[in-house]
Every structure is written in structure tokens, then in C-alpha cells.
Chains A and B, each alone.
Chain A
Amino acid sequence: MFRQMGSEAIGSFFWLGVGIFFAIEGIRLNVGILKNPGPGFLPLIMATLLVLFSLFILIKGLIKSKTPLSKILWKKQLLAVVSVFSYIFLLEFVDFLFSTFIFMFILFAILIKERYRWPKVLFYSAAVALAAWFVFYVVIRTPFPSPRLISIWS
């Protein structure tokens, strides 16, 4: 059903929701009076504008030609997001070098699509992890979380 509505209508539904949410919260914040505008004054104005523009796009999208929705390949993006959050989680337990190696290994495995890719994936992951460890850990001294389980270098 969503695909038939066209990308403009689907997108405007999202913004409409965001606008309504911010408008309600803006009213709760105290809008004030014109002589003394409160903290919710400009948020309410902006949220109302957001709602109005979204409605304009929504109506235009429903009446006029429906722009087809671009193909969204959720699988790879989802894998990337999951791997980033797993990486963040892993950083709490395993040190930077090791967790970066695992993270890079997953990303290169997603991206490199060749027949004999594993030696390449291994090599790139190790090289990037070592370079990143040298730059961020040794040179810049970024204070990463102290690993609770495995620590190779620190």
C-alpha cells in the first residue's frame, strides 16, 4: 500500500508525525505571550510550519504524479548498523585493537564480493585495525572505554 502512495506521501507522513510531536511538546513547554515569549514559542512556530509544509507535500503527492520510491536495500544497511552497535558494545569488553579488527572484518566481508575474498578481507581488516590503533590509541590517545575482559595492549 505504501509503495502505491509514492515517495512524497510516505516521506510527508514521517515529517507530519515529527511536527505534531514537537508542537504538542512545545505547547507543554509554555508558549508565553507575544510581549514575553516562552521557551515553547519558537518550537511551536517551527513545528506548525513543519506540519503545514508536510501537508502540502502530502496533498501534492496524493493528487499529482506519484514519484516511485527508490529501492532501499535494507539488508546491507541493517548489517552495517548492527555491526556498529555490536562494535560499540564490544568496546566495553574487548580492547580497541581486537574489537576494531572484528568490526572491520564484518564490514569488508559485506563489501568485498570476490571469489577468493577471505585472505583479502583478513589482510585489510588487520591492516586497518593496526593503523587505527596506532593513530587513535598511540598518537592521539583517544580515551576509549577500559575493556572488562580482553586487553592485548593496554
Chain B
Amino acid sequence: MGVLLGTLIGVLPGIGPSGTISILLPLTFKISPVTSIILLSGIYYGAMYGGSTTSILVNIPGEAASVVTCLDGYQMARQGRAGPALGISAFGSFIAGTFSVIGLMFLSYPLTKFALLFGPPEYFSMIVLGITFVTYLAQKSMAKALITAAFGFLLSFVGIDMITGKPRYTFGIPILLDGVGILPLVMGLFGVAEVFKNLDSPETRAIFKTKLRGLLPNRQDWKDSGRPIVRGTLLGFLIGVIPGGSSPLASFASYAVEKRCSKHPEKFGHGAIEGVAGPESANNSAFGGGLVTLFSLGIPPTVVSALLFAALMIQGIQPGPFLISEHPDIFWGLVASMYLGNILLLFINIPLIGVWVQILKVPSKLLHPLILLFCIVGAYSIRNTLFDVGMMMLFGVLGYLMDKFDYEPAPLVLAFVLAPILEQGLRQSLRLSGGSFLIFFNRPLSAILLGAAGLLTISYFFFKKQREVLDVKDENA
């Protein structure tokens, strides 16, 4: 069900996997933790598969990670090669998805041993690096991303202080003692805001009319795509492991690598199958990489894994180094479901491409009232109080305005989820050191992590011009 829903969401431009997972989070209250995490993960990697369909056939990416697929995928469709483009994207995603599950299976457990070396200073420094990475990769401006991240941290402070038990920013409102809920926040920022944006300019979709024949790539296609799939898979997985390394970044990085490795870089942007195979593999592989960090360190590296983190927390399960040993059913259940899910997606995507194309014709004006209704009922069912619905609408308006003023919501959500770990790490470290900040630099691992964060910030200013050139290229694409 998760992968089917994910593919559907990936196909329909607009709401995206983060929005869908946010909207469906309240439904997971009624199902077991294993089932809920399988459902939500399935939505995400299903969306990764489905997103390529719209990129190739409509030149509109279903979700952010498929933006780069538009460059060559749509050109292939225009040349009458939509079939091989869709085929190689599905096969590449399958290979990468399967590899990432194997990586998750073999890397997570050894990494949990490594995570036990982490003390409060290391956790603090790791979060600082993660947030720096997310803001560094912000599409608009690093300063704006830092603003939203700081606001995300501040929002998480609402409620009872975990060390002193003193209420913070509650203003005498009893319901605020529980803090700002992650669900009204994400449902507002990703679900309601998306509906508001669509009220401004309902998107129109012109489907490129082409006959979908020969979905199976030929021998030459496989020869051209083999290495890009392998490189994309490895690169995507490694990027996924790094805090902040998301699927969109993996697909962009893979495209850049393929263009550089190619003997005919001039073909890129004009229908090169390597430009589809590499990025589509990378974005699927990155998800598995991200899960490694979530399950071993208990740190969600991306917004989607932050939502999975929230789903586990809602079920009373603390993600971290002890998750695999304490809840093996969740970890192994997810691993098994991902094997199965990837196989299912291969069989769903290729034969059902005609159905997905038909679904693309559903007008967004019919979908958005439904999304809003889902959000309202979902927000209400958290605590059966209309206060949460009000909070969600407030965040919906904020998300809409943030979009208008070019602020991204991802750093806000990630900071909101990571704030308790950061605060605990900082306060405990200062107590341990008797108030000295040197504790963060005296411990080697912490110093390396903070050093990496510092280097990233410095490099932002060095490479600002190159980033601007890339941004312009992306916009033109």
C-alpha cells in the first residue's frame, strides 16, 4: 500500500512525499510501529520511482529529487524514446534501492557500536554539522535557511524544560505544556501551505503525446547505463549517510559526475540515457543511506527521515544506537519490506505506466480540498482537540508566506526535530566541563565534526559564485 501510494504521490506534482507522510502520520496511531514505519518508508521510495514518470513525460518533476531527470528524460521522450527512459529509470531505481537495503542491513549494526562512542559533546557537534549541511545546501540563501533553522529550534523549546521541569513559552496555556506538536507543524508547512500555493496559480499539465513502446532498454542502452547506475548507487548511498545529504542532492551530484565522466558530455541535456540512469539510481540509494544514520545514531539526516523519526517517537520508540537491539522487529521488518517493496515497484511501474499517465490528468482543483480535509481530520485526531487544527492552519499560513518570501521549510522541521538532542548535548557537555566550551574541541571526534561544519561555512562564501551559476543553470533547465 505504501509503495502504491508513494508512486501515486510521486506521479502527481505538488504535494510531494514529505507532505504525504505528514498527512498520513496521524493514521499510524492505530497501526503497529513496524507497519507504520513500513508504510511511511514505502511512500517515500515509491515517490522516488513515481517522480521520474512526470519528469520524463510531462517535464514536471513529481518531487524534488526528479528535477534533474527532466533534463534528459524529457528530451528522450521527445525523440520517441520515452519507453527506454522510463524503463532504465525503473531498473536503475530497483538496482540502487536493493543495494541500499543491503548497505542498510550490513552497515547499521556495526555503526551502532561506533555510535556508543558518542557522548553529549559528539551529539551536539553532529547536530551542528547536520544543520550546517542542510543550510549550506539550501537552494535560496544560507542566511535564510539559518533563520528558519533557528526558528525551528525556538519552536521546539515551547513546553516543559526536560532538565528543570520549568514551563517555557507556554503563556499559561495548559495545552502548550506538551509543546508544539510535530504533526500540526509538518502538516501545516507541507500540506496546508501547498494547498494555499495552489490557490494562487493552479498548475497546468500538458502531457507529451508519445507512444510508449519498447519499455525494456536495448543492449546499447544497458551498455551506456551500466556504469552510471553503479556510480549513482554508490554516490547516492554515501550522500545519504551524511547528515543533510538528501535525495535531491544525490541526484544532482550524480548528474554532475556522469557529465564529467562521459566521453560525450555535449549529449547531456539532449537525451543522454546516462543522465537518467545515474540520478534515478542515486536518489533511491540515498534513502537507504539516510536510514543508516537514523538507525545507528538516532539522528535523522533529512526531512523525510525526521518524519520517520517522529513516527517512531509517537509510537513511544526512541531512535538511536539501541533501537536495533531493543526493537529488532522494526529494523528487520523495514529491511524485509524494502526488498519486497523494490520488487513490487518494478512490477507496478513498468506495466502500469499507462495508468499513471491517466492519473496525471486528474485536475489539482479536485485534489486540494481533499488534502485540506485530510490535514484537518489528521490534526484533530492527534489529541482530539481543535487547538491542533488551529496550530496547523497557523503553520500553513506561515509556510505559504515563507514560500512567497523565499524561505525553505526543510531546515525548520529538521531543527525542530533535532533540538532536544542538541540542547541536551550542549547543557550536559557544559556541566561536564565546568562551563568550558573547550570540551567540544578537546574530544577528537567532536572537534572533527565541528571543524567540518566550520569548513562548510567558509567554503560557502568561497563557492558562492559557482553555486549561483549552478542555480541559474537549474532554473533554465
Chain A positions near chain B (C-beta within 8 angstroms): 7-8, 10-12, 15, 18-19, 22, 25, 29-30, 33-43, 46-47, 49-50, 53-54, 56-57, 60, 67, 69-73, 76-77, 80-81, 84-85, 87-88, 91, 100, 103-104, 107-108, 110-112, 124, 128, 132, 136, 140, 142-145
Does B273 lie at the interface of the complex (its beta carbon under 8 Å from any beta carbon of A)? no
Segment with Cβ contacts to A, from B140-148, B228-236, B296-304, B307-315: B140-148
Q: Assess the A88–B168 pair: CB atoms within 8 A.
A: no
Does B384 lie at the interface of the complex (its beta carbon under 8 Å from any beta carbon of A)? yes
Question: Contacts of B386 on A, CB cut-off 8 Å?
Answer: 88, 91, 145
Question: Contacts of B397 on A, CB cut-off 8 Å?
Answer: 77, 81
Question: Contacts of A56 on B, CB cut-off 8 Å?
Answer: 143
Which of chain A's residues has its CB closest to B385's CB? A145
How many positions in chain B have a CB within 8 Å of any CB in the partner chain? 56
CA distance A135 to B400 in the complex (A): 29
Question: Contacts of B169 on A, CB cut-off 8 Å?
Answer: 22, 25, 43
CA distance A29 to B200 in the complex (A): 41
Question: Contacts of B168 on A, CB cut-off 8 Å?
Answer: 25, 29, 39-40, 43
CA distance A90 to B405 in the complex (A): 33
Segment with Cβ contacts to A, from B52-60, B104-112, B373-381, B448-456: B373-381
Q: Assess the A35–B430 pair: CB atoms within 8 A.
A: yes
Segment with Cβ contacts to A, from B67-75, B248-256, B363-371: B363-371
Does B393 lie at the interface of the complex (its beta carbon under 8 Å from any beta carbon of A)? yes
Question: Contacts of B373 on A, CB cut-off 8 Å?
Answer: 100, 103-104, 128, 132
Q: Assess the A50–B199 pair: CB atoms within 8 A.
A: no
Segment with Cβ contacts to A, from B14-22, B82-90, B153-161: B153-161
Residue of B150, B368, B384, B396 near A53 (CB, 8 A) is: B150
Does B209 lie at the interface of the complex (its beta carbon under 8 Å from any beta carbon of A)? no
Known: A29-B166, A34-B436, A85-B390. 19 other contacts (CB 8 A): A7-B405, A12-B147, A18-B151, A33-B435, A34-B430, A35-B431, A35-B434, A37-B426, A42-B427, A53-B143, A53-B147, A56-B143, A69-B404, A87-B376, A88-B389, A107-B368, A111-B369, A132-B373, A140-B30
Does B441 lie at the interface of the complex (its beta carbon under 8 Å from any beta carbon of A)? no
Query: What would be 20 A-B contacts, judged by CB atoms less than 8 Å apart?
Result: A11-B144, A12-B147, A18-B151, A22-B154, A34-B430, A39-B163, A46-B150, A47-B150, A53-B144, A57-B141, A70-B404, A71-B200, A73-B199, A76-B200, A88-B386, A88-B389, A104-B373, A108-B369, A111-B365, A143-B381
Count of A-B contacts judged by CB separation below 8 Å: 150
Nearest chain B CB to A65 CB, angstrom units:
13
Does B195 lie at the interface of the complex (its beta carbon under 8 Å from any beta carbon of A)? yes
**If A46-B153, A53-B143 touch, does A128 touch B369 (CB 8 Å cutoff)?**
yes
CA distance A136 to B23 in the complex (A): 14
Q: Assess the B154–A47 pair: CB atoms within 8 A.
A: yes
The 5 closest A-B pairs by CB, nearest first: A34-B435, A39-B161, A11-B405, A35-B435, A107-B369
**If A35-B434, A128-B369 touch, does A41 touch B406 (CB 8 Å cutoff)?**
no
Question: Contacts of A35 on B, CB cut-off 8 Å?
Answer: 430-431, 434-435
Does B221 lie at the interface of the complex (its beta carbon under 8 Å from any beta carbon of A)? no
Does B356 lie at the interface of the complex (its beta carbon under 8 Å from any beta carbon of A)? no
CA distance A117 to B153 in the complex (A): 46
Question: Contacts of A50 on B, CB cut-off 8 Å?
Answer: 147, 150-151, 154
CA distance A80 to B393 in the complex (A): 10
Question: Contacts of A85 on B, CB cut-off 8 Å?
Answer: 390, 393
Nearest chain B CB to A123 CB, angstrom units:
11
Nearest chain B CB to A62 CB, angstrom units:
14
CA distance A152 to B422 in the complex (A): 50
Which residues of B (395-409) have their CB < 8 Å from a CB of A? 396-397, 400-401, 404-407
Q: Assess the A143–B384 pair: CB atoms within 8 A.
A: yes
Q: Scan B178-218; emit 1 where CB is below 8 A from any A CB, else 0.
A: 00000000000000000110011010000000000000000
Q: Assess the A142–B381 pair: CB atoms within 8 A.
A: yes
Does B164 lie at the interface of the complex (its beta carbon under 8 Å from any beta carbon of A)? yes
CA distance A108 to B365 in the complex (A): 8
